[in-house]
Structure 1
Amino acid sequence: MIIVGLFVGIFVISMGGGGGSIYLGVLTAVFNLAPASAAATSIVTSLPALAMGCWLYYRQGQINFHLGNTMLISAIPSVIIGALIAPFIPTKLYSVIIGLILFVLGIQILYKLHGNSKTKTQQQSKKLPLIFGSISGLMVGVAGLSGGGPIMAGLLVLGASMIQASATSSYVLICMSIVGAIMHLSGGRVDWSAGFSLMIGAIVGAAIAPRLMKKFAVGRGALILNIFMGVMLILMGLKTML
């Protein structure tokens, strides 16, 4: 679990996420935690690593606070709404929802590789940050995911560079994750025995990730990481749904 957390911290913080989707896939597909418990465990245990990554990006001066704060306007209320409705979702449906989210995130990552060169030429819209913020907030609140996929996609569409998108995404996600963690902790469903080792490994990985990102933000290394993450999320999503 520590080794898995280490790689999650490196790979996902490098891509602007908190690792909640990977955590969730590991906890449900590999360690067979109940979906509700896995959702709460993933968001709470990914929080320290996300904070570490965000702080290091801040020190590099890569965070776009204007875009990030715009996304938070819609993201924070969505986290609260999602967490409030999550306990009323049946277990079977919950598994399907989580599996679908993981699957779609994987497809999104792979598709972005094909369309990434075109994103900066698209017309910017004031509504886009709010839309992506809402989607991400619901992912955090309902499923305990980090919500990094929609945030990264939105930032890239709005013209941010890869490292700026990763840094700003980390800022948005740390704010959402704090709210999501408080909501999920109130339900007392966190499995600390499963999540603690993941958390320790991810903190170490998150400390390494921004430094690696500064060197490998473009090129073949970034392509390989994207493909690896996309395929892994698709497989975990399918296993969770079945």
Structure 2
Amino acid sequence: MYIILPVLGFLVGGIVISLGGGGAAFFLSILTGVGHLSASSAAATSLFVGLPALMVGSYSHWRTGNMCFHEGNQMLIAALPSTIIGSLVAKYIPETIYSWIIFIIFILLGVQMLLQSFHRNTPVKNKTHRSGMTYVFGILSGLMVGIAGLSGGGPLVAGLLLIGLTMQQAAATSSYVLVITSIVGLFLHATQGHTAWGMGAVLMIGALLGSAIAPRFLSRLNPQKVTLVLRPIMGLFLILMGLKLVIHL
């Protein structure tokens, strides 16, 4: 298992950075499906695994000048309290219910990734609606980080695209928010003793190597074509791991 984990981490780290996400959902699925951790332990460990690569990616995004701090700060105002609340109530959720929560999120994210290439969003122009949407998606992202141990990038990117940001701006701004909420979520989960540090470190080493090497390799390929191929594959992967998580319940 400790041979398979860094290999999977390498592959996921490389693929996720090409898609502009935090990757916690994929690390979570590996920790539950391959590492056989409980859903609660995997939730805490996935934040530990994904944070370093997320910080590296966020710094790279910042250097491009695409971060929109105004929209990002609006989302943080909503995301941070919901992250704290989610982390505090997570320990009171029974393991079976916890597994079903993760399963539902996996299915929704997997379906979203499968449909994303065929759906175009119309930007929201009304300023009041724009502000409201940033808060709503910020709350949803924070709950995903706090309760499920996911990076919460999905709702952030979706919300930022809906209010009119470009994909580059949405990915950059999302990474800024995710670094802060992931640090808070990791700290709160760690204080509850749920983190599998050893297994997480093995997976994290592979992920860091993948995220460091992938950009050089991908720079030689057509990024649109790579995303077109990888996105449905990762969507199917999430759905399968979600099914595997609850099939024994």
Q: 1:132 to 1:179 in 2, by over 3 A?
A: same
Query: How high is the TM-score relative to the length of structure 1?
Result: 0.91
Which residue of 36, 41, 52 corresponds with 1:37?
A: 41
Structure 1 residue 219, shift from structure 2 partner: 2.4
Query: How high is the TM-score relative to the length of structure 2?
Result: 0.89
Letter of the structure 1 residue corresponding to residue 113 of structure 2: I
Deviations 1:82-132 (A, max 9, x none): 00100000011111111111111111122222113xx14454522111111
Aligned to 2:206: 201
Which residue of 113, 121, 133 corresponds with 2:117?
A: 113
Q: Does 1:82 align with 2:82?
A: no
Could you tell me how far apart the structure 2 residues matched to 1:206 and 1:70 are? Answer: 29
Aligned to 1:228: 233
Aligned to 1:157: 162
Say whether the 8 Å CA contact 1:24–1:38 is kept in structure 2: yes
Pairing of 1:15-26 with structure 2 (within 5 A):
15-26=19-30
Could you tell me how far apart the structure 1 residues matched to 2:238 and 2:125 are? Answer: 30
Aligned to 2:58: 54
Aligned residues: 240
Could you tell me how far apart the structure 2 residues matched to 1:33 and 1:220 are? Answer: 35
Q: 1:89 to 1:203 in 2, by over 3 A?
A: same
Say whether the 8 Å CA contact 1:6–1:202 is kept in structure 2: yes
Alignment RMSD, CA only? Answer: 2.0
Aligned to 2:174: 169
Larger Rg: 2
Structure 1 residue 208, shift from structure 2 partner: 4.5
Could you tell me how far apart the structure 2 residues matched to 1:212 and 1:136 are? Answer: 31
Deviations 1:62-95 (A, max 9, x none): 2221221111110011100000100000011111
Letter of the structure 2 residue corresponding to residue 180 of structure 1: G
Q: Gaps (5+ residues) in structure 2? A: none
Letter of the structure 2 residue corresponding to residue 50 of structure 1: L
Aligned to 1:65: 69
Aligned to 1:191: 196
Deviations 1:39-60 (A, max 9, x none): 1111112111111111111122
Q: Does 1:92 align with 2:99?
A: no
Q: 1:173 to 1:217 in 2, by over 3 A?
A: farther
199-208 vs 82-91, which moves further:
199-208
Say whether the 8 Å CA contact 1:82–1:141 is kept in structure 2: yes
Letter of the structure 1 residue corresponding to residue 237 of structure 2: M
Which residue of 138, 144, 153 corresponds with 1:139?
A: 144
Aligned to 2:187: 182
Say whether the 8 Å CA contact 1:100–1:241 is kept in structure 2: no
Q: Does 1:10 align with 2:6?
A: no
Could you tell me how far apart the structure 1 residues matched to 2:73 and 2:133 are? Answer: 13
Could you tell me how far apart the structure 2 residues matched to 1:159 and 1:6 are? Answer: 33
Q: 1:176 to 1:222 in 2, by over 3 A?
A: same
Between the two proteins, what is the percent identity of the paired residues? Answer: 48
Q: 1:210 to 1:156 in 2, by over 3 A?
A: farther
Letter of the structure 1 residue corresponding to residue 147 of structure 2: V
Deviations 1:15-42 (A, max 9, x none): 3322110011111122211111111111
Q: Residue 119 of structure 2: SS of its match in structure 1?
A: helix
